[in-house]
Every structure is written in C-alpha cells, then in structure tokens.
Amino acid sequence: MLTYLIRRLLAVVVMLVVVMLAVFGIFFLIPKWTGVDVATMFAGKQSDAAALDGIRQKLGLDDPIIVQVFDFFKGILVGRDYVSAGDTLHCSAPCFGYSFKTEQAVWPILADRLPVTLGLAVGAAVIWLLIGLAAGVVSALRRGSIWDRAAMGIALSGVSLPIYFTGLLSLAIFSYGLGLVSNEYTPIEESFPEWFSGMILPWLTLAFLFGAMYARLTRATMLEVMGEDYIRTARAKGVREPVVIRKHAMRSTLTPIITLLGVDLGALMGGAILTETTFSLPGLGQAVLKAIGEKDLPLILGVTLITASAVVVANLIVDLLYGVIDPRVRLA
Amino acid sequence: MNVLLANGPLQRRAWLVIPPAERGCSPTMTAPLHDASAETAPVDPALAGAGDDAKSIEGRSLGRIAWNRLKRDKVALTGGVVVLLLILIAVCAPYIVDLLGHPPDQHHEDAIDPLFQTPKGSLGGLSSEHLLGVEPGNGRDIFSRIVYGARVSLLVGFLSAVVAVVVGTVLGALAGYFGGWLDACISRVMDMLLAFPQLLFIISLISVVPNEMFGLTGTGVRLTVMILVIGFFGWPYIGRIVRGQTLSLREREYVEAARSLGAGRRYILFKELLPNLIAPITVYTTLMIPTNILTEAALSFLGVGVKPPTASWGQMLSQAVRYYETDPMFMVVPGVAIFITVLAFNLFGDGVRDALDPKGSR
C-alpha cells in the first residue's frame, strides 16, 4: 500500500514536470523555430531595443531553457527573486511568476478565480451525478420501456449538443426571455441568492451535458454487470432483488463512474473554458483563455499546472477509492 | 468524451471479429470465426428469418450478419442517411450556393435594419431569398455560410479521426504485440496524454502557430493544425483499445499456429491481427468523428479555429453571442446544424457498435 502510494506520487510529479515542459515548449520553442522573438511577443512590436533587453534580463529569457524551467520550479516550491536594474522583487512561494500583461503576481489572480470555478464544477457535479446515475440505473432496470427510450433519447441529444449552444439558448429563454434568473456572476460573499441565481443556469447547462454522458455510461455498465455470474449467484442464494441491485450491482457499476468523475472534475478545475465563456463567469477558464490570446505565459503555466495537478490528484483519489467501493480490487 | 463511454464494455470483446473469408486471409484465421458464430447463432434466431440469404444455413460471415443487423436498425440507418446527405452537401457546397446565388462572404446591407443592425423582417430575415435569414451587422446569407461551414466541420472531423486511428492503431498494436519496455513507454505516454488538460493545450498550440506554415497560409494552416492536434490528442483512446485487443489476440491458437508455420512478425501483425482489430476500430472511429466535430466547433467558438471570413459553425455561434437578445435566430441555425450533424453521427455510430457487437447493451 505504502509503496503503491509512493509510486503513484512519483508518477504525479513526473506528470506535472512533463506538463510544464510542454507548456514551456509551446511558448518558447515554437516561436524560436518560426523566428519570433519571445520578448517582442510580450512587450509589443513597437518596443525599443532597451526595453526588450530589460524584459529579457528581468524574466531570464536569455538563460538556457533548462535554467528557466528550474527557476520556475524553484519559484513554486520556495519562492524566487527577480532582479532588474538593481531592484529586487521577491515573490514568495507558491510563486508562479508575474503576468506579462498586467504585471500582477499570478498566484493571487488564480486564487481569486479558483472559487468561481470550484463552485461551478462542484455544483454541476452534484446535479449531474444525481440525474445521470438515477436515469442510467432506472433505464437499465426497465430496459426497453418507454422511460428507457425517452431517457436515452434525451441523453443522446445531450451529448450531441455543444455546451455553448445550450448555454446561449438557456440564457435567451430563462434569463432574457422570462427574466427568471440573473445572467451575471455575483460573488457568494456579496449575496447568496444573487450568486445562486447567477449560477443555476451554468450548473444546469454543464449538468445536462455530463448528466447525459453519465446516464449512458451508467446504463451500459449496469446492463453488463446485471449479466455477471455473481449477480446470478446472489439471486440463487435468495437475496432479494432490491438488495442485489443496491449491494451487488451498484458497487461495480460505480467503479467506471468514479473513474470518469475523477477525470472530469479534475479537468473542470482548469476552468470549464466553454461554460465560463458562454456565461461570462470570471473563473480560471476565462482567465486562461484571455492569457492564451495575449500569450501571457506565466498565467497559462499557472492554470495548466493547477489543472494537471487536479487531474492527477483526482485520479489518485479515485484509485484509492476503488478498493473501498469494489472489494475485488486490491492495490498492489 | 464520447469515446470514453464504450470503454469498459468493449475491451472484453476480443472474440468480436470480422470474418477472414471476406478479407482473403489465411485459413488459420478461421479459429475465432468458429467461436464467434457459435456464440452468435443462437442469440439471434429472429435474424434467420429476416435476411434474404437465410435459405442457406452456412456461409453467412460475421460482416454479413452485422450488416443485416444494421439494416434492420431504422434509427441508425436514418443517422447514416443524414451523414451521407451532409457529406454530399459539403462536397457540393459551391454548386448549392451557386444555385441560390448568395456567395457566403457577400454582404447584404439592404437586408439589415440600419438602426438596430439586426436583419429586417421576422425570424432573422428569413425569406425565400435568404433561406435561413441573414447575419446581423453585415447581412451575409446564413444558408450559404452553413453549407460552407459543413465543409470545415466534416473535413476536420474525418481527417483528425484518421490521424488518431492511424497513430493509435500502429502504436497500440506495437505496444500490445511486442510488450516489454516498448509497451511500458507507449502506455505511459497514453496515460499521460489522457490526463492532459487537452482543450487548454490545443488552444495554446494553435495560438502560437504562425500564419504561414508547410507552404500553406491562413485558413489552410489553421485547418491542418487543427486536424493534427485534435488527432494527436485522440489517438490514446484508440491506442488503448487496440493494445488491449492485441494483447489478448496474440495468445490465440491461430496466431500461434501461424507462428509455428514460420510466419514473420509483419505477416502476423498485418494479416493475422489487424483484420481482427477492424471491428473495434470501426466502432471507435464512427464514435470519434462526432467528438472531433464538437471539438472543432468549440475551437472556432473560442476564436482559435478557422479564420474569418471562412465560415464555420462554431465561429457563427461565437458571433451570435452578441446578438442572442436581439436576433436569436442567428444562434439557433448554426447550433441546430451542429446538433443534427453530431446526433446523426452518434446514432449511426451506436448502430454500428450494436451491429458489430451482439452482446451490446441495446
């Protein structure tokens, strides 16, 4: 168990380093190949040579890429100092550097936006798990019934609709047309009802897409599981059907669901880019999309690393949960 | 994401094969066919009376059985017909647009209300002249843009699936067949790619790609990059399936028989294993295309897809964001276009899966 954990944690670290290298590669190597000076990318094409030199020196752009990566890593763990023209700027851990555009420290920006994304993802996940699991299980048990057909028809539509279209449609109908809910984000500290009113459409939109996926997966897994030998054994032993479903079938049905949930929640931590764009939610996704447009590397690196860590940590938790949910799984 | 759905159930179906008879393969390959037909024959008694060729008991290959099953699946067939129609529309886009006489980039200021910048008339300027209305602001014909947008969607959807399938099949088969360190490397890479924040990376990558590349400019570059990048992030899904299948197939008696007869690695990989991988690969490809179409639309929606004025559905939706209050039609048309396309592919893909896989969940 302990060796398993250590091995997994090592894998997490490797994963994060690779993700970081990939982002560095995209934003430093590709411009190099194509002959674009990174410093002009950040300072604007009109800047004079002295300004460009200053930027290069301050950000360490003239250092070898290895040194830059190392500095960045060091910054996250213990903080780092930026030296330029005699001034020293200390950036304490976790230091993700300073935004090239706004010159603010990246970490506070991210910390500011994290609650929005977290609220969106968790709220939506609660809804889609409830809907998806219930619809999937009932569909599997009443296979071929009207309920099954209707639920699966809706689910198939759900996975075929782009989220920004359902989002816009729901905004046009429920916010603009009927005036039922707000189309603006209000922080939860300011006013809970306002926050709720602004979040309900994003939640439902996101939950519609994911609920549809989970319903399909739940149904398919459940049908598969109900055909397994151990279910027949349980029935043969005289276990009543509700107990067979709850205690025997549900457990193994949950395994792939939990797997998917780990990946999805982790990925959403990096910002549900499309949902946040559609509903103008000031979350991580919106921040990173803007940063990508402005080629603001430190911000992109920050969000990417947060997402990647969220995904790998979620996967780790999921793997540990397997043992609890499914007694057949033994971690080695 | 769609691709994940069939993940669990499919991996266990190694016996699911396309018959060697149809592919002109060596007789050693009949081993799995016997398994499969023995398993399927009693499962499907209705089929015996349904097919035209039911008079003869033997000689129905699994491919034929699957085709018969697909033929009876009206929903899947409808999806297939819609897919064919869409391909036809995309291929004939210039002729269709010529017929109606509104090039996709032509502005129609006369159809726009100068005060509100919205189309004149109801339902977004819908008329016999402009079948689906005109865009607010510049009055471009929406029907023409939708027709041309189909080209982008289908092109990226198909070609990126091809990239994913080729890379996934090759690497998956290599990993599964040779095992050892090669398998370890490829598997780690696949795990890593699956845990990557994909959309983020795709957007980042495309945003740094210059305007001229590979001797292409503008839209050509964006299309190529989108196809390569979407395909690149899609291959691990196929790769994992192929690896799993290859792992179990290479232990089969018929592979052993071929090996003992002196068959080389290449022969075994291409003539013995690959034909047996066709079924799962087909299923995954058909289900991967709609996902790719959605990704392309999402990229265009976020402004990193094809460049304007080239029409694409996602890009039209992103423009519609500004008009959802004043001209909702502008948002509905491209949205419905994406929906119909993706739904048709999904219906057809589900049908193909059920047809190739008699134990399926429907």
Residues of B within 8 A of A168 (CB-CB) are 317, 320-321, 324, 331, 335
Contact, A267 vs A313, CB < 8 A?
no
Q: Using CA atoms, how far apart are residues B278 and B282, in angstroms rounded to an integer? A: 6
Structure-model confidence comparison of residues B88 and B213, the more confident one:
B88
What's the pLDDT at A48? 67
What pLDDT band is residue A72 in, cutting at 50, 70 and 90?
Answer: confident
Contact, B213 vs B221, CB < 8 A?
yes
User: Is a pLDDT exceeding 80 seen at residue A50?
Assistant: no
Read off the pLDDT of each residue in B319-348 and give the average, rounded to a whole number: 87
Structure-model confidence comparison of residues B54 and B34, the more confident one:
B54
Region of poorest pLDDT, from A89-103, B18-32, B152-166:
B18-32
What pLDDT band is residue B340 in, cutting at 50, 70 and 90?
Answer: very high
Alpha carbon of B153: minimum distance to chain A alpha carbons (Å): 13
Q: Could you tell me which of A63, A91, A89, A64 has the C-alpha nearest to residue A75?
A: A91
What pLDDT band is residue B56 in, cutting at 50, 70 and 90?
Answer: low
In angstroms and rounded to an integer, the radius of gyration of the C-alpha atoms of chain A is: 24
Read off the pLDDT of each residue in B90-105 and give the average, rounded to a whole number: 82
CATH topology of domain A105-328: MetI-like fold (1.10.3720)
Region of poorest pLDDT, from A283-292, A307-316, B164-173, B287-296:
A307-316
**Please, which residues have CB within 8 angstroms of residue B274's CB and are 6 or more apart in sequence?**
B169, B173
Domain ranges for chain A, please list them: 18-94, 105-328
Read off the pLDDT of each residue in A252-277 and give the average, rounded to a whole number: 81
Read off the pLDDT of each residue in B270-288 and give the average, rounded to a whole number: 85
User: Is a pLDDT exceeding 70 seen at residue B50?
Assistant: no
User: Is a pLDDT exceeding 60 seen at residue B54?
Assistant: no
User: Is a pLDDT exceeding 60 seen at residue A332?
Assistant: no
Residues of A within 8 A of B184 (CB-CB) are none
| Peptide bond just before B309 cis, omega within 30 deg | yes
Region of poorest pLDDT, from A4-18, A25-39, A303-317, B164-178:
A25-39
* CB neighbours of residue A228 within 10 Å: 13
Residue the block writes with tokens 């289900």: B287
Residue the block writes with tokens 């997966």: A217
Partner-chain residue, chosen from A31, A156, A224, that has the shortest CB–CB distance to B346: A156
Q: What is the DSSP string of A56-99?
A: HHHHTTTS-HHHHHHHHHHHHHH-EEEEETTEEEEEPSS---B-
What's the pLDDT at A189? 77
Q: Using CA atoms, how far apart are residues B66 and B80, in angstroms rounded to an integer? A: 15
What pLDDT band is residue B21 in, cutting at 50, 70 and 90?
Answer: very low
What's the pLDDT at B44? 46
The full 3-state SS of A103-123, as one line of letters, equals CCEHHHHHHHHHHHHHHHHHH
Residues of A within 8 A of B350 (CB-CB) are 156
Task: Evaluate the CA torsion angle B1, B5, B10, B11 in order and state its sign.
Answer: positive
Structure-model confidence comparison of residues A253 and B130, the more confident one:
A253
User: Is a pLDDT exceeding 70 seen at residue B359?
Assistant: no
User: Is a pLDDT exceeding 70 seen at residue A51?
Assistant: no
Token reading at A111:
């910390």
Could you tell me which residues are beta bridge partners of residue A91?
A80
Task: State the amino acid at position B144 in one-letter form.
Answer: S
What's the pLDDT at B45? 46
Residue the block writes with tokens 């420290």: A105
Residue the block writes with tokens 């764009």: A277
What's the pLDDT at B9? 33
CA angle B340, B96, A161 (to 5 degrees): 15
User: Is a pLDDT exceeding 50 seen at residue B4?
Assistant: no
Mean pLDDT of chain B: 76
Contact, A102 vs A42, CB < 8 A?
no
What pLDDT band is residue B1 in, cutting at 50, 70 and 90?
Answer: very low
Mean pLDDT of chain A: 80
What pLDDT band is residue A186 in, cutting at 50, 70 and 90?
Answer: confident
Q: Could you tell me which of B283, B147, B298, B170 has the C-alpha nearest to residue B230?
A: B298
Q: Could you tell me which of B70, B78, B87, B74 has the C-alpha nearest to residue B353?
A: B70
* DSSP class of A102: T
What's the pLDDT at A327? 67
Find the residue in B nearest to A144 (Cα): B362
Token reading at A29:
């190597």
Residue the block writes with tokens 């067949």: B177
What pLDDT band is residue A16 in, cutting at 50, 70 and 90?
Answer: confident
Share of chain A above pLDDT 90, in %: 10
Task: State the amino acid at position A172 in one-letter form.
Answer: A
Read off the pLDDT of each residue in B225-245 and give the average, rounded to a whole number: 89
A300 touches chain B (CB under 8 A): yes
Chain B, 296 to 315: residues with Cβ < 8 Å from chain A are: 297-298, 301-304, 314
User: Is a pLDDT exceeding 50 seen at residue B46?
Assistant: no
B195 touches chain A (CB under 8 A): yes
* CB neighbours of residue A172 within 10 Å: 19
Task: State the amino acid at position B223 in one-letter form.
Answer: L
What's the pLDDT at B167? 94
User: Is a pLDDT exceeding 90 seen at residue B82?
Assistant: yes
What's the pLDDT at B88? 93
Q: Could you tell me which of A263, A26, A294 has the C-alpha nearest to residue B209?
A: A26
Partner-chain residue, chosen from A18, A26, A172, that has the shortest CB–CB distance to B192: A18
**Please, which residues have CB within 8 angstroms of residue B12's CB and are 6 or more apart in sequence?**
none
pLDDT in tens, A187-245: 877 778 888 888 889 999 999 999 999 998 899 888 888 888 888 898 899 889 888 88
Residues of A within 8 A of B314 (CB-CB) are 162
Share of chain B above pLDDT 70, in %: 76
User: Is a pLDDT exceeding 90 seen at residue B87?
Assistant: yes
What pLDDT band is residue B18 in, cutting at 50, 70 and 90?
Answer: very low
Structure-model confidence comparison of residues A116 and B44, the more confident one:
A116
Residues of A within 8 A of B335 (CB-CB) are 161-162, 165, 168-169
Q: Using CA atoms, how far apart are residues A221 and A260, in angstroms rounded to an integer? A: 13
What pLDDT band is residue B43 in, cutting at 50, 70 and 90?
Answer: very low
User: Is a pLDDT exceeding 90 seen at residue B343?
Assistant: yes
User: Is a pLDDT exceeding 90 seen at residue A82?
Assistant: no
Alpha carbon of A86: minimum distance to chain B alpha carbons (Å): 33
Q: Could you tell me which of A63, A102, A64 has the C-alpha nearest to residue A83?
A: A63
Structure-model confidence comparison of residues A2 and B169, the more confident one:
B169
